[in-house]
Amino acid sequence: MRFEKPKKTEYRLFSIEVDGYGALIDTWIQERAFERSLDLKLIPWLKDYRIIKRNVRLNRSIIDYLLRRGDEETYLELKSAVQRIDGHASYPDAPSIRARRQLRDLIRYVEDGAGR
Note down pLDDT in tens along the chain; length 116 residues: 455 666 677 777 777 787 787 777 788 888 999 999 999 999 999 999 999 999 999 999 999 999 999 999 999 988 776 677 787 777 666 678 888 899 899 999 999 887 55
6: number of Cβ within 10 Å? 5
Q: What own/partner pairs with CB < 8 Å and gap ≥ 24 does 66-74 have? A: 67/38, 72/115, 73/115, 74/49, 74/115
Domains in the chain, CATH or no CATH each: 15-111 (3.40.1350.60)
> Which pLDDT score is estimated for 65?
97
Angle, vertex CA 81, rays to CA 102 and CA 61, nearest 5: 10
Q: What is the pTM of this model?
A: 0.74
Give the C-alpha separation, 46 to 71, whole Å: 14
